Amino acid sequence: MKNKSTTYFFIFTLAFALVGGLTSCKTSGGTSGGGGDKKNTSTLDDKDRVNFEYLFFNANKEKVLGNYELAETYYSQALRINPNSAATMYELASIYSFQNNKNQALFYSKKAATLDPDNIWYQQLYADCLKENKNIAEYAKVYETLVKKFPERPELYYELANAYLYQGKTSDALKVYDRVEARTGVTEEVSMQKLKIYRATKNYDKAIDEANKLIKAFPKDAKYFGMLGELYQDKGQPEKAFDAYNDLLKVDPTNAYVHLSLADYYRSQKQNEKAFEEIRLAFKSPDLDIDTKVKILLSYYSITEVYPELKSDADELCKLIVLVHPNEAKAFSIYGDFLYRDKKNEEAREQFRKAIALDKEKYAIWNQLLVIDSELNDYTSLQKDSKEAMELFPNQPIPYFFNGAANIQLKKYQEAIDALTEGKEFVFGNDILLAQFYANIGDAQNQLKNHSASDEAYEKALEIDPNSAYVLNNYSYYLSLRKVNLERAEALSKKCNQVEPNNSSYQDTYGWILYQMGKYEDAKTWIGKAIDNGGKNNGTLLEHYGDVLYQLGNKEEAHKFWKDAQKAGGAGPLIDKKINDKKLYE
C-alpha cells in the first residue's frame, strides 16, 4: 500500500508546477519563485511540506482570481507552517501594497528581501514600499545594492537616480545618468533627464550641451532645436535662440509650434508686428492643436480688456481658428465668447449655434446661447432652445427657468408653470435662483387668475429671499389691483422702496396702494416722486396721478394729466372715457 502523504505531495507539487509563475505574478512583473522556496522548506517534514504547498498553491490561485482577502488568509496560514518562506512574505507584501496598507507591505517586503537578498523582485518591492513610506534614504540604498548586483539592467539606474533626486542629490543623480550613458551611448531618455536637472538648477550651459548632444545624435528631430532655442531664451541669449528656431525650420519647414517660439522672441525684442505675424502663421496651421490655440486666445481675452487696440488681432485669430478647425465646437465657442464680450450678440449667437451643431453635449455652450436669446428678447428662440436644452440636460435648472420665462412672455402661462414647477426641483444651494423660480410661478399663476396659487408662490419666494424688490413690488401691486389684503400690500411695497429707493415703478406701486386705501395725499406724494424720477412719459403713472388729483378735488388738473397719459401711451382702457366725460371711472 502506497504512503498517502507521498501521493498527495506528488499531486500537489505537480499541480503547482503546471500553473507555475502565473499564480505568483506581482504587479511589477516579478515572480515569487513559486512554491519552490526550497531552501526554506527543506527542514519541513513531508506532512508540513504538503500542507504548505497546498496553502501556497491555493493562495496564488485566489490572488489571480482577485480574491485578495482569501489569498491573504491562505498565505498567513502557510507562514504559520513555514515562518521563513520569503516567497510567501513577498506575496503578502504585494497584496498589502495593492491595498495601500503601507505598514504591513513594508514589514513583509523587508522580511522577504532580508531572507533572499539575491532575488531582484523581492528587493524592488521592498524599495517601492520604502518609497511609499517616505524612507527615501533606505530606498536609495536598496537600489545602490541592486545596481552593483545587476549592472546590466538600465531600469535600476533610473530608479537609483530618482531616489537621489527625491533627496535633492542632483549631482549624484547626474553621475548615475552618466554611468547609463557610458553603457548605452546618447539616448533621449538620459539626456532629457540630465537636461531637466540642469535647467531646474539654472545651469544653462550644461543644459545647452545636452541639447546640442541630442541634435548631433538625432539631427533630423526638430524638437531638439526648439529645446535649444528655449534654453537660449532662458539664458538671456535671444539671438542664439533665434538661430536655433531658424535651424528648426530648416529641418521641419511645416512645424507650427516654432512660430510660437519665434513670436516669443520677437515680443522680447518689442517687435510686436513680427510677433503677431508668427502667431498668425501658427494659427493657419492645422498641425498646431486647437487647445494651444484656445489658450492663446484666452490670453488675448484678458489682455484686450486692458489694451482694446488688440481686439482686431484677436478677431483675426478667432476667424482663423474657425476656418482651420471647422469641425471643432470649441473653435466656434471661443469666437462666440469674444463676440458676446463685445456686445455683438447676434453674431455671437450664430457662433454658439455652430458649436452646438458640432457638439450638443456641452452644457456651458447651451447656457450661453440661452443667455443671449434672453438678452435679445427673442422669446420664440428662447422657448425653442431652452426646451431642447431641458431634454439634453434634464437635471440642470437653468433651461427650465429660461423656458418658463419665455413662455410667460409668449403668454403660454400653463406651459411656463409646468416648466418652472419641474425645474425648481433641480435647484440646490442657490436660494436666489430658487426664489426667482417661485417669483415667475407667481407671475404666471396671476395671469391665469389663480390668485391663491399666485400668492402662495410669492410668499415662498419671499420666505427664501425676503429682500427681492421684484417680488415685493409685483406681489403688492397685484394685491392692490384685486383690492385685497391691502395692509399686507402696503407693508410689502414700503419695504420694496426701502430695498431699492428712487425706482419710479416701485414708487408708483406704493402710491397706487395708498390710493386704494384712500390715503390720497400720501398717494399724491409717492406717485409724484415716481413722475419726477423719470416717469414723465409713462402713461400709467400719469393716469394714476390724474386719478389721485380727481379724488382730491382737483378735477381740471386731473383732466390735464389724463390727456398727457393718453398722449404718452400705456394708460388703462378707461382713459378715453375719463377724458371725454371729465370724470373718474374705475
pLDDT in tens, 67-100: 999 999 999 999 999 999 999 999 999 999 999 9
Q: Which three cell numbers stand for residue 584?
A: 373718474
Q: Which three cell numbers stand for residue 93?
A: 507584501
Helices H, strands E: what count in the chain?
A: 33, 0
**The predicted structure's pLDDT at residue 567:** 95
Q: Are residues 581 and 570 in the same domain?
A: yes
CA pair distance 525, 543, nearest whole angstrom: 15
Domain for residue 432, yes or no?
Answer: yes
CATH number where 387 lies: 1.25.40.10
Q: Are residues 461 and 390 in the same domain?
A: yes
Band of pLDDT at residue 269, cut at 50, 70 and 90: confident
pLDDT in tens, 123-171: 999 999 999 999 999 999 999 999 999 999 989 999 999 899 999 999 9
Q: Are residues 545 and 558 in the same domain?
A: yes
CA pair distance 543, 343, nearest whole angstrom: 37
Cα angle 354-356-362, degrees, rounded to a multiple of 5: 145
pLDDT in tens, 160-204: 998 999 999 999 999 999 999 988 889 888 999 999 999 999 999
Residue 15, pLDDT > 70, answer no
Q: Are residues 480 and 514 in the same domain?
A: yes
Domain for residue 382, yes or no?
Answer: yes
Q: Are residues 448 and 404 in the same domain?
A: yes
Domain for residue 390, yes or no?
Answer: yes
Helix 311-324 and helix 290-306, axial crossing angle in degrees, nearest 10:
160
Q: Mark which of 444, 466, 488 sits at the end of a domain.
A: 466
Residue whose grid cell is 496651421? 285
Between 312 and 184, where is the model more confident? 312
Domain for residue 490, yes or no?
Answer: yes
Task: Report DSSP letters for 388-427, one per residue.
Answer: HHHHH-TT-HHHHHHHHHHHHHTT-HHHHHHHHHHHGGG-
- Tell me how far apart the terminal alpha carbons of the chain are, to the nearest angstrom: 121
Query: What is the percent of the chain where pLDDT is above 90?
Result: 76
- What is the identity of the amino acid at 172? D
Residue 23, pLDDT > 50, answer no
**The predicted structure's pLDDT at residue 388:** 98
Q: Are residues 459 and 472 in the same domain?
A: no
Q: Are residues 513 and 558 in the same domain?
A: no
**The predicted structure's pLDDT at residue 251:** 85
- Alpha helix locations (H) across 307-448? 311-324, 329-341, 345-358, 363-375, 379-392, 397-409, 413-423, 431-447
Does residue 485 come out as left (phi exceeding 0), alpha (psi in the -120 to 50 range) or beta?
Answer: left
Band of pLDDT at residue 537, cut at 50, 70 and 90: very high
Q: Are residues 460 and 401 in the same domain?
A: yes
**The predicted structure's pLDDT at residue 35:** 43
**The predicted structure's pLDDT at residue 355:** 98
Domain for residue 401, yes or no?
Answer: yes
Q: Mark which of 430, 447, 466 sits at the end of a domain.
A: 466
* Residue 123 near residue 113, CB atoms below 8 Å: yes
Q: What is the mean pLDDT of the chain?
A: 90
Band of pLDDT at residue 363, cut at 50, 70 and 90: very high
Q: How many domains does the chain have?
A: 3
- For 96, other C-beta atoms within 10 Å of its C-beta total 21
Helix 290-306 and helix 257-268, axial crossing angle in degrees, nearest 10:
30
Q: Are residues 406 and 444 in the same domain?
A: yes
Domain for residue 230, yes or no?
Answer: no
Domain region containing 477? 468-518
Domain for residue 502, yes or no?
Answer: yes
Q: Are residues 502 and 456 in the same domain?
A: no
SS3 508: helix
* Residue 517 near residue 486, CB atoms below 8 Å: yes
Q: Are residues 460 and 382 in the same domain?
A: yes
Domain for residue 452, yes or no?
Answer: yes
Band of pLDDT at residue 19, cut at 50, 70 and 90: very low
Q: Are residues 444 and 474 in the same domain?
A: no
Q: Mark which of 466, 484, 508 sits at the end of a domain.
A: 466
